Amino acid sequence: MKYIRNILIITLLFHSFAPGVFGLNYENSVVSIRVTTQEFDYYSPWERKRHKTEWIHGCVLDTTRGLIATLSLPLENHIYIEVSKHGEQTRYPATVILKDYETGIAFIAVPYQEFYADLEAVKLPENRTEPAKGVVVKWDTRGRFKSYPTESFATSIQSYEGLGGALIHQLITGLDSGGKGEPVFQGDYLVGITAWFDSNEKTIKANSSETIKWMLSESENGSYRGQPVFWLDTHYISGDENLKKYLGMKPAETGMLVSGIPPKGSGFGIIRKNDVILAIDGIDIDDNGLCDVPIYGKLNFMWIVLFNHFVGDTLELDIIRDREKKRISFPLLPETDDTILIPSYYRDTAPSYYIIGGLLFQELTRGYMNVWGADWESKADKRLAFYTKNYWIYPTEEQKRIVILNRVLPATLNQGYHNLTNLILLRINKTRVRDIYHARELIENSGDEFIVCEFAGNENIVLRRNSLIPETQTILKQYGIVAQHNLQ
């Protein structure tokens, strides 16, 4: 397969497309974006890391409203954004209109209408009639405009994080570097925005124009609710004839078996464990959880939910339950603060934390796990990794977040506990802890002589309550920590 790809890449290089050959002048639609960001430190959540600057690309969506589409992840924790036009040295300050980290797309705008005077909005295809392909365009480090042919390799639904997803085109190309928002065009029309680049395989992944169109439609009324929440743990039947017969399916029928449904997701209480989903909105689901989509072929069933619906719409499922066929329906819900037990990150805000008696409490997030690096699954604390991988979407009324003891800031008050780290907090004075706000409430409103913190693994910390508040202020001063907590 790699050999065939290499031949195709060489062929593409000899058949380059000239910008604007189809009518749209790409140079007048593509902009360069300079982003200055400053990350928060999850290990010491009262601090920020050094700021950094990155150049990415974007394309003009609407010259009247001033909308420019780009990638959302490079804008995380942004401090300052500037936009440049082709052939100009001037950088114009820009503001964020909308950032969606689950779709991976952001809209920004330059607040000066004259900036758009000589720019041209890209066109979004109404109904695609052939697979994504065309030309990817970019500015090089010297400000020169370049274009590279691309050819479709695959299209799929992929998740950036959380419960949402994007339609991603994987394309073969001769691009030398990228993955930073370079637009891909097919004639006059935008195919998508490049989000990944593989230099070894010479492939890119472009977040599709369908993702952008869905976001524009959702934001038309002035508000943006994000993608609807619909998540299932499923077992793909994959042609298991004995299982199908056991479930009451006919030989020709296909579907996927529900093995779990999160308590805060759409359909909870209506969909049941061991239901077999045969079709969604009348579209058949195969034994691998895929549905047929014109042009793109087989896509994950989430295509139906994420790109054909909005929050509040009704979803219809044809199912087999207890060997009988049924049709069920339910409204699609938005994601809220209590939808997820273990969030991915604290995007654009400092991590929540609470310090008492030198005990540094935080809520478990994927951002905290990244303290161990990208391969945290093998390097991080095993208990935290297990929960992050397997229970991130299963909150309960008694546990809305997992609270952890990051570490103990050594002091006389907490002698004997200095080596404790990465423990899951279960109870304070025998009361189950719901989240970090509840932990603070239990400690500061307690009338008991002692504060007893119980952790998973039979670890306990016992501190005298009357000395906690004054000693905490002393410890904060010793460690140069300005704020005792970041809880709103």
CATH code: domain of residue 286: 2.30.42.10
Instruction: Let me know if residue 205 belongs to a domain.
Output: yes
Instruction: Let me know if residue 404 belongs to a domain.
Output: yes
141 in the same domain as 58: no
Q: Average pLDDT of the chain? A: 91
Residue 24 banded pLDDT, cuts 50, 70, 90: low
State the DSSP H helix or E strand holding residue 137, giving kind and residue range, or none if neither: strand 134-139
The residues pairing with 298 across neighbouring beta strands, listed in sequence order, are: 292
Question: Nearest CA to 388 among 161, 72, 48, 159?
Answer: 161
Instruction: Let me know if residue 484 belongs to a domain.
Output: no
The residues pairing with 318 across neighbouring beta strands, listed in sequence order, are: 279, 327
33, 230, 232, 250 from 238: Cα distances, Å: 45, 22, 17, 14
CA distance 285 to 282: 9
Average pLDDT, integer, range 254-261: 95
pLDDT > 60? residue 461? yes
- Do you know the residue count of the chain? 488
Give, as one character, the DSSP assignment of residue 229.
B
**Contact at 8 Å (CB) between 63 and 121?**
yes
Average pLDDT, integer, range 391-395: 90
Average pLDDT, integer, range 116-134: 86
**Contact at 8 Å (CB) between 253 and 225?**
no
**Between 471 and 18, where is the model more confident?**
471
Instruction: Let me know if residue 227 belongs to a domain.
Output: no
- The label of the residue with tokens 């400690």 reads 443
Residue 12 banded pLDDT, cuts 50, 70, 90: very low
The secondary structure of 385-404 as a DSSP string is HHHHHHSTT--BTTBSS-EE
Residues spanned by the domain of 42? 26-116
Instruction: Let me know if residue 445 belongs to a domain.
Output: yes
Query: Which CATH number is 213's domain given?
Result: 2.40.10.10
10 in the same domain as 33: no
Average pLDDT, integer, range 265-278: 96
pLDDT > 60? residue 422? yes
Collapse the DSSP code of 189 into the 3-class scheme (helix H, G, I; strand E, B; otherwise coil) and give the result.
Answer: strand
CA distance 417 to 356: 13
Would you state the structure tokens that stand for residue 152, as one six-digit string?
A: 């479709």
Q: Is the pTM of this model over 0.85?
A: yes
pLDDT > 90? residue 22? no
CA distance 131 to 155: 9
Instruction: Let me know if residue 384 belongs to a domain.
Output: yes
**Contact at 8 Å (CB) between 34 and 84?**
yes
What domain count does the chain have?
Answer: 4
Domain end marker among 70, 89, 116: 116
pLDDT > 60? residue 425? yes
237 in the same domain as 210: no
Instruction: Let me know if residue 336 belongs to a domain.
Output: no
The secondary structure of 430-445 as a DSSP string is TEEP-SHHHHHHHHHT
Average pLDDT, integer, range 426-449: 96
441 in the same domain as 420: yes
CA distance 331 to 266: 7
pLDDT > 70? residue 362? yes
Residue 21 banded pLDDT, cuts 50, 70, 90: very low
13 in the same domain as 162: yes
CA distance 239 to 257: 12
CA distance 459 to 344: 27
127 in the same domain as 90: no
Instruction: Let me know if residue 305 belongs to a domain.
Output: yes
Domain end marker among 116, 135, 165: 116
C-alpha distance across the termini of the chain, in Å: 54
CA distance 405 to 383: 13
13 in the same domain as 145: yes
CA distance 226 to 280: 21
271 in the same domain as 143: no
* Whole-number CA gyration radius for the chain: 26
Query: Tell me, what's the pLDDT at 20?
Result: 41
Question: Nearest CA to 367 among 331, 397, 399, 340?
Answer: 340
Q: Which of 85-99, 177-191, 232-246, 269-283 tops mean pLDDT?
A: 269-283
Query: Which CATH number is 86's domain given?
Result: 2.40.10.120
Candidate from 2-6, 325-329, 399-403 with smallest mean pLDDT: 2-6
pLDDT > 90? residue 323? yes
132 in the same domain as 108: no
Domain end marker among 298, 331, 364: 331
78 in the same domain as 51: yes
Query: Tell me, what's the pLDDT at 337?
Result: 86
In this structure, the strands spanning 283-284 and 290-293 are unpaired
177 in the same domain as 281: no
CA distance 214 to 154: 21
CA distance 404 to 306: 33
CA distance 43 to 52: 19
∠412-413-419 over CA atoms, to 5°?
75
pLDDT > 50? residue 455? yes
Query: Tell me, what's the pLDDT at 259?
Result: 94
Query: Which CATH number is 420's domain given?
Result: 3.20.190.20
126 in the same domain as 94: no
Q: Which residues contact 232 (CB under 8 A, 6 or more apart)?
A: 256, 258, 260, 261, 265, 267, 271, 277
